[in-house]
Amino acid sequence: MKLNKYLAIAQALAIILIGLFFLNSNRKSESVVVESHPPAGNSHLLSFVRSAGIIHYGESLWDVFRKNHIIDADILSAVSEFKKIFNPRDIQVGAHYKLVQDSLNRLISYEYQPDITTVYKIKKDGSGVFSGTIENQPLVKKIKAVSGTISSTLYQSITDKGETPELIINFTDIFQWDIDFFIEPQVGDSYKMMYEAYYLNGRFVKYGRILAAQYCLSGQMFTAFYYNNQLGKGGYYNWNGQSFQKTFLKSPLNYRRISSYFSLGRMHPILKRVRPHLGVDFAAPSGTPVVAPADGIVTEMGFQKGGVGRYLKIRHKNTHFVTLYGHLKAYARGIKKGVTVKQRRVIGYVGMTGLATGPHLHYTFYENGRPINPLRINNISADPLKPEQVAPFQHDMMPLLAKLAEIEDNNYAWSGVLY
């Protein structure tokens, strides 16, 4: 019979095609046949081949179709239809695609998935015409909680509960002005947090915001709530509406004038050579007190005869920042390496030790080890909530506070939708 003949040809073609695919995938492992349907009954003369792959560097949509042996006529109409829903130039390396073709290498459908939630799809209808659709799969947001007591490190405790370093960074960022997570945490400290987590089809995709965070540092409790303060600016506040985002004092002393600015090339007054000045010089009478511009720890003290003279360095609790104070006449009482200093504590006195023409403070501000201009640091506003905002804030945060109280300190893994 004529029908049987077609069927035999179609089956032979399908076998050859699958064979070609396996050869191809063995060689290059570029596309993988995930499923193939042999003809079922009399109504299907052709078999369908489904394949999936990722976009490789320099690969166009055209290349993907070519690689899968799609006939030219279908490539032309499929590409032109795809262009209506997506700019093919924006195709990303590593993005996933799925393709369905028949045993005659005619394209049935093509799906391009640049990210986990979006699928661009072109599909051939019954009359052989392609049409495109964009499908969005919404992420499901859940509010989760994690808590624990530190037996070795915070990192260990949180990763032991199956969470990633990303969550730990988000958590420590909230308290970066108050706690130096490199040195201060102690065995026995405890933490709690509630955070948003996004899921797709029941699988974790990404973290959202931390909504509430608590850290108990040697008995001292820090609790932060995320709050949008109606000016469109969100931030972390304690229960009294004070911001966790702290700032540096504008300068570490009362000075008369700035005698030298931050510059990458200036004539040195004594050396008479062009040298970068990677700090600011504040002229002030000898003996003027110098204070810590933010909380930190004294990490270095020393004397540089041909340079900054008697100096000290402070590493701040926001560990991106280190500050240096030079030409000091003397250190303040109690200032030693390893001592913790609070903002505004006197650390030393203006002098002219080292290479200096007159009494002044040389101040260098390092961000991640690189000197930056201290007069230009991004002192993000750390304003507390306005008095009239505090009551609405506390009202909004009440459910979070209650939930935090419910979470046990040890190995509690709570997951569910709170609101």
CA 138 to chain CA centroid, nearest Å: 22
User: Taking the complex as a whole, how short is the minimal distance between the CB of residue 344 and Zn ion, in angstroms?
Assistant: 23
Is residue 310 a contact point for Zn ion (CB under 5 A)?
no
Alpha carbons 216 and 136: distance in angstroms, whole number: 42
Rank residues 163 and 281 by Cβ distance to Zn ion and give the closer one.
281
Of 44-52, 91-99, 281-289, 380-388, which part binds Zn ion (CB under 5 A)? Answer: 281-289
User: Taking the complex as a whole, how short is the minimal distance between the CB of residue 306 and Zn ion, in angstroms?
Assistant: 13
Report the DSSP beta bridge partners of residue 315.
297, 322
How far lies 412's CA from each of 40, 144, 191, 367, in Å?
A: 53, 11, 11, 37
Of 2-10, 47-55, 83-91, 355-363, which part binds Zn ion (CB under 5 A)? Answer: 355-363
Rank residues 2 and 370 by Cβ distance to Zn ion and give the closer one.
370
Q: Which residues contact 341 (CB under 8 A, 6 or more apart)?
A: 292, 295, 296, 297, 298, 314, 335, 347
User: Phi-psi bin for 408: left (phi > 0), alpha (psi -120 to 50), beta?
Assistant: beta
The amino acid present at 367, given as its one-letter code, is E
User: How many residues are given for the chain?
Assistant: 419
Is residue 246 a contact point for Zn ion (CB under 5 A)?
no
The amino acid present at 278, given as its one-letter code, is L
Binding-site string for Zn ion from residue 182 to residue 221, where x marks contact by CB under 5 A and - marks none: ----------------------------------------
User: Taking the complex as a whole, how short is the minimal distance between the CB of residue 363 and Zn ion, in angstroms?
Assistant: 8
Of 138-146, 181-189, 264-272, 273-281, which part binds Zn ion (CB under 5 A)? Answer: 273-281
Structure tokens at 25: 């995938």
User: Taking the complex as a whole, how short is the minimal distance between the CB of residue 257 and Zn ion, in angstroms?
Assistant: 14
Rank residues 316 and 362 by Cβ distance to Zn ion and give the closer one.
362
Of 92-100, 164-172, 271-279, 328-336, which part binds Zn ion (CB under 5 A)? Answer: 271-279
Structure tokens at 248: 């540096």
For 194-211, b/e burial (b = at least 16 CB within 10 A) is bbbbbeeeeeeeebeebb
Of 75-83, 280-288, 379-387, 406-414, which part binds Zn ion (CB under 5 A)? Answer: 280-288
**CB closest to Zn ion, residue no:** 362
Question: Cβ(314)–Cβ(329) under 8 Å?
Answer: no
Pairing mode of beta strands 118-124, 203-217? unpaired
User: Taking the complex as a whole, how short is the minimal distance between the CB of residue 308 and Zn ion, in angstroms?
Assistant: 7
User: Taking the complex as a whole, how short is the minimal distance between the CB of residue 217 and Zn ion, in angstroms?
Assistant: 36
Of 54-62, 140-148, 360-368, 387-395, which part binds Zn ion (CB under 5 A)? Answer: 360-368
Is residue 281 a contact point for Zn ion (CB under 5 A)?
yes
Q: Which residues contact 387 (CB under 8 A, 6 or more apart)?
A: none
Rank residues 178 and 281 by Cβ distance to Zn ion and give the closer one.
281
Q: What share of the chain is helix, strand, coil (3-state, %, to 5)?
A: 20, 40, 40
User: Taking the complex as a whole, how short is the minimal distance between the CB of residue 266 and Zn ion, in angstroms?
Assistant: 10
Rank residues 172 and 364 by Cβ distance to Zn ion and give the closer one.
364
User: Taking the complex as a whole, how short is the minimal distance between the CB of residue 300 and Zn ion, in angstroms?
Assistant: 17
Structure tokens at 276: 């970068």
Question: Cβ(237)–Cβ(225) under 8 Å?
Answer: yes
Question: Cβ(79)–Cβ(73) under 8 Å?
Answer: no
How far lies 86's CA from each of 124, 136, 149, in Å?
A: 17, 14, 50
Of 28-36, 313-321, 356-364, 376-384, which part binds Zn ion (CB under 5 A)? Answer: 356-364
Is residue 315 a contact point for Zn ion (CB under 5 A)?
no
Rank residues 304 and 319 by Cβ distance to Zn ion and give the closer one.
304
Of 19-27, 118-126, 359-367, 383-391, which part binds Zn ion (CB under 5 A)? Answer: 359-367
Count helices and strands in the chain by DSSP H and E runs: 6, 25
Rank residues 31 and 251 by Cβ distance to Zn ion and give the closer one.
251
User: Taking the complex as a whole, how short is the minimal distance between the CB of residue 361 and Zn ion, in angstroms?
Assistant: 8
Residues binding Zn ion: number (CB under 5 A): 3
Is residue 362 a contact point for Zn ion (CB under 5 A)?
yes
List contacts with Zn ion (CB under 5 A): 279, 281, 362
